[in-house]
Amino acid sequence: MEIPVTVHRARLGPQEFKVVRPARPPEHAVLLDDGWFLNACVDEAAARLMAGLWRLAATSPRSLIHLPLRRGAAGTGTGTAETGARPLDLVLLHHSLQFAPSRWKELRGRLGPGLRQSVTVPASDPETGHAAPHHAENRDLFHQHLHAETLFVTGSAKVFRETAGAFREVAEHGPRHARDGSPGGHYCARLGSGDDGARDIHIEYSDAREA
């Protein structure tokens, strides 16, 4: 899978950070915090892009993978004004980077236009599904932090690689469920964090044609 991206570099004090964004953020995707759950509503294209970015996070331990999603909230028909849910951006990062989310707002403000590139990530790993990281025997956990209207998901390469399949599953099966008239056309997957106090991410297919 080839993903067009923009690569940004900025310094905070003596440290330089690399931030990677999709060149074209998905048109039909939103991440919402309703106080109880974290809900990602995505169409097929957005689900495939997010699966790719999840895998990119597994292979880019020195980068922050930033997906701007807040601006897409109005285009998904999710009714954030009615529900009171708060739209969030998403940042994926390897735990070894040890980036403090409290520094994100300053770093984000220093990012320029960036350089256009293309990155290639495997579409899937045949030997792995989207193993839920909340199983007791799995020591690779997601850790979550909320700061500056952004959800930070920190984990190991292994856990990013293994859980990318949740988005791929929604991309592959969500459209068929919508076409076949499954109850409510609803298709979803769940990513458990395994981190005490953290919330699961509920990934729901949302047909772009109905947005």
3-class SS at 13?
Answer: coil
Q: Are 22 and 67 in contact (CB under 8 A)?
A: yes
- Averaged pLDDT, 46-71: 95
**Structure pTM?**
0.86
- Averaged pLDDT, 19-36: 93
DSSP string, 152-180: EEEE-HHHHHHHTHHHHHHHHHHHHHHHH
Q: Which two tokens stand for residue 136?
A: 């007791």
Q: Which residue, among 207, 211, 184, has the nearest Cα to 43 in the 3D structure? A: 207
- Alpha-carbon distance of 72 to 66, in angstroms, equals 14
- Alpha-carbon distance of 16 to 103, in angstroms, equals 13
Q: Which amino acid belongs to residue 61?
A: P
Q: Which amino acid belongs to residue 120?
A: T
Give the confidence band of 177 by pLDDT, cuts at 50, 70, 90.
confident
Inform me whether the pLDDT recorded for 85 exceeds 80. Answer: yes
Which residue would you say has higher pLDDT here, 103 or 141?
103
Q: Which two tokens stand for residue 198?
A: 């953290």
Q: Are 66 and 114 in contact (CB under 8 A)?
A: no
Inform me whether the pLDDT recorded for 168 exceeds 90. Answer: yes
